[in-house]
Amino acid sequence: MHEHAIGLPVTRKEDFRFLTGHGTYTDDINRPNQVYAYILRSPHAHAAIKSIDTSAASAAPGVIAIFTGADWDAGGVPCGWQVNSKDGSPMNEPPHYPLCKDRVRHVGDQVALVIAESLPQAKDAAELIVVDYEELPVVIDMEKAIAGDSNLVWDEAPNNLCYDWEIGDEAEIDAAIAGAAQVAEVEIVNNRLIANAVEPRAAIGEYARGTGQYTLHTTSQNPHVIRLLMGAFVLQLPEHKLRVVAPDVGGGFGSKIFHYAEEALVTWAAPKVGRPIKWTAERNESFISDAHGRDHVTRGKLALDADGNFVAMKISTIANMGAYLSTFSTCVPTYLYATLLAGNYTTPQIHCNVRAVFTNTVPVDAYRGAGRPEATYVVERLVNEASRITGIDPVEIRRRNYIKADQFPYQTPVALMYDIGNYEPTMSKAIAAADYAGFEARRAEAAQRGMLRGIGVASYIEACGIAPSQVVGSLGARAGLYECAKVRVHPTGSVTVFTGSHAHGQGHETTFSQIVADRLGIPFENVDIVHGDTDKIPFGMGTYGSRSLAVGGSAIYNAIDKIIAKATVIAAHLLEASEQDVEFVDGQFRVAGTDKTLGLGDVSLAAYVPHNFPEELEPGLEEQAFYDPANFTYPAGTHICELEIDPDTGEVEIVSFVAADDFGRIINPMIVDGQVHGGLAQGIGQALLEGCVYDQDGQLLTGSYMDYTMPRADNLPAFQVETSVTECTHNPLGVKGCGEAGAIGAPAATMNAILNALSPLGITDLAMPATPHRIWQAIRSATPAAAAE
């Protein structure tokens, strides 16, 4: 077996540069003659700009230029997904200019762009800008926002409504619920989160007057998409004159998918000042300018028959859009959320209504999992509530309602067709690893120590590998979602792969190299993976939604197929054999049944030095594939959290956390485990620690790492990761995707464990994040004796 074969835990090639300080992140890049941008941001959540006086600032030392909304002469930042309301009307889509023209709509909105010789000079000058604001009424709370016509974020959006969308037949489902034996109900808030990649966003805009070429270096998960959106829609630059480079990127988790105002600003201003312009966010700036995630208020019902079978589900959600529509914001609570509400279950009828609202807050968009964590949370809280009211064990009620292995492909009532799955063995692995059967004894032992111990189960499914262009197009996407790969075999047989995927921590250079080395039978070291530069790679769609391997890896796989096909023709010619008789095995082209062989290097050399070459064949050995999958992929699994609560303080300690997942075929198990760990940390973070808090004036109270609780090493346990494999049926690698699973399963598993621990006190509901304070309050309210102490 090849030492870097598919399936082996190969250590990562990218690590040497990261470990030695030789990574190149955007802020590490400095361009000759560069100047610095600082963005003056709104301190108000909602205000009219009466006037801006930049005269003193313009005269400050080092200042080169100051731009305000009056100077902005280009387009608005677009939203990439059209959602229609249930009455057929298009969504309300207000303009989003990179510099505010007359009104600011959230704390952090861009008011002025200051460019100076140094960053401290730019910041000093910004303090001299005088903006005359007239404060306007603020709306933060979603339910208040949608309740009436007062406090409008946009005058043209009555009731602050962006859209009112539904899937399923409401009347039918109401009837099913009315006739059901029992109905579980929940009211939940999916707390607003911030992705908080440790690398802040940054952008460097450049313009070469000699060639008319623009270059943008930016912290992006998808440079081609940024080029398309910014070039075509905002600045209207010809694409061939715009290069977007996303070098090493220090984490994304969704927040670096979107096209941001700052990218457009530095590119737009570069020719105006005639020098490269660099902007790097400070962390507190990230908190008020990176898109936030989640933020739903939801009411859910799950109806059951007398045997505990699910018969219908009804969900009503209000989803916060913030003040503007970020790039993919509109599809998250609809096509990435409502379509996942079947979960792992055979619920025959589902209705979901989603109302998207504008508020005076930072725009909300996809964050790790994007819609699937929100769907899983409501489904799995409902399933546990169903378990509670029926008295059926949480594991048993899930098993009873699972889609069975022989029911695939399975058409859900909410649009998706799951290609394959086998949920029971994965849950069994989780149960065994967590010693579920032994829990009651551990609970009793903990009780003797005065501790409340709980166990929580959550199953999940996600739709990864986003996905078939035709399908997403029919759902309102304004882009295709395929992936590209170009495989270049060099004359000496080493290989460079150009991929449209983008890596920001996922280890693509290693995983993709494994695929190439394995299939071409060449040393792993002889493969380079190039990504993140629109001048180098074919048009690709980038990395999000766990699509890199399933879509990007499949494109590489198909391009290698083409390489092997062409190389076989060349080898047959060189070996003087018929093409049909030449087979490619272990990196050698061999005439079947003989010892006549040629290595890939021999063939590629001949391809580039075609002295003896068939007339009808083009020289060179380089192939390209665009891969558009037939369906999403459907990873699924079960997570089990066990924890203890100190009733005196409300503090939670996670005692064990098991994640059992089915990701299809595994290319690199070490990297897969790492992806699961990271997702779990973010999911547990949502359940226990993280959450944005706005006050009623729209000030973000959790506006720095000092206020927003990021999970730290001592908040988290060691994780147990189990894997089972049912291969995806429709991509050539059989892979599904693993990056978001932890963030999807962990919130529900953790909250179910907390509610299980608190169940002896009669507590059946608690909001995320379940902070010690919140838990302590719940305990005090539930136990009059404790409260009276």
Contact with another protein (CB under 8 A): which of 21, 438, 762, 784?
21
Residue 55 binds another protein, judged by CB under 8 A:
no
Our finding on whether 271 is near another protein (CB under 8 A) is: no
Q: Is the dihedral of CA 750, 755, 756, 761 positive or negative?
A: positive
Provide the mask over 197-216, with x wherever binding to another protein is found by CB under 8 A and - wherever it is not.
xxxx----------------
Among 213, 284, 309, 783, binds another protein (CB under 8 A): 284
Identify the residue among 5, 18, 577, 596 touching another protein (CB under 8 A).
18
One residue of 120, 238, 473, 760 binding another protein per CB under 8 A: 120
Q: Which of 151, 190, 191, 196 binds another protein (CB under 8 A)?
A: 196
List 96's β-bridge partners, or say none. Answer: none
Select from 673, 690, 722, 740 the one that contacts another protein (CB under 8 A). Answer: 673
* Size (the chain), residues: 789
- Smallest gap from Cβ 640 to another protein, in A, equals 16
If one asks whether residue 24 binds another protein (CB under 8 A), the answer comes out as yes
How many Å apart are CA 568 and CA 271, to the nearest integer? 50
Using CB under 8 A, which of 272, 283, 388, 774 touches another protein?
283
Structure token digits, residue 543: 């990395």
> Which position has the token pair 């006739």?
179
Residue numbers 219-258 binding another protein by CB under 8 A: 248-251, 253
* Sequence-ordered list of residues with C-beta below 8 angstroms from that of 268, at least 6 positions apart, any chain: 72, 74, 98, 205, 234, 235
677 binds another protein (CB under 8 A): yes
680 binds another protein (CB under 8 A): yes
Distance, in Å, from the CA atom of 737 to the CA atom of 479, rounded to the nearest integer, reads 21
Q: How far is Cα 679 from Cα 684, in angstroms, rounded to an integer?
A: 9
Closest distance of CB 194 from another protein, Å: 10
Rg (C-alpha) for the chain, rounded Å, is 28
Give yes or no for residue 504 binding another protein (CB under 8 A). Answer: yes
* CB closer to another protein out of 183 and 671: 671
What is the distance between the alpha carbons of residues 151 and 159, in angstroms, rounded to a whole number?
9
- For another protein, which stretch binds (CB under 8 A), given 138-146, 164-172, 461-469, 679-687? 679-687
Please report how close the Cβ of residue 198 comes to another protein at its closest, in angstroms. 4
CB of 251 to another protein, least distance (A): 4
Asked if 272 touches another protein (CB under 8 A), the answer is no
Asked whether 369 and 744 are in contact (CB, 8 A), the reply is yes
Number of residues that bind another protein (CB under 8 A): 58
Footprint of another protein on 714-773 (CB under 8 A):
714, 716, 718-719, 742
Closest to 254 measured CA to CA, from 316, 318, 331: 331
The stretch among 231-239, 270-278, 303-311, 706-714 that binds another protein (CB under 8 A) is 706-714
- Nearer to another protein by Cβ, of 419 and 661: the residue is 661
Q: How far is the CB of 675 from another protein (least distance, A)?
A: 8
- DSSP string for residues in 586-623: TTEEEETTSS-EEEHHHHHHHHHS-SS--TTS-SS-EE
Which residues make Cβ contacts (< 8 Å) with residue 689, sequence separation at least 6?
709, 710, 711, 715, 769, 771
When asked if residue 447 is in the footprint of another protein (CB under 8 A), the reply is no
23 vs 523 by CB, closer to another protein? 23
The residue assigned the tokens 């303009």 is 95
If binding is defined by CB under 8 A, does position 31 make contact with another protein? no
The residue within the footprint of another protein, chosen from 373, 456, 468, 507 (CB under 8 A), is 507
The C-alpha atoms of residue 187 and residue 506 are separated, in whole angstroms, by 35
Q: Which is nearer to another protein, 19 or 181 (CB)?
A: 19
- Contact status, residue 301 vs residue 313, Cβ threshold 8 Å: yes
Contacts 24+ apart (CB under 8 A), 209-216: 209/271, 209/274, 211/241, 212/241, 213/241, 213/242, 213/243, 214/241, 214/242, 214/243, 214/267, 214/270, 214/271, 215/242, 215/243, 215/244, 215/245, 216/242, 216/243, 216/244, 216/245, 216/263, 216/266, 216/267
Binding site for another protein (CB under 8 A): 11-12, 14-25, 27-28, 30, 120, 195-200, 248-251, 253, 282-284, 504-507, 670-671, 673-674, 677-682, 704-706, 710-714, 716, 718-719, 742
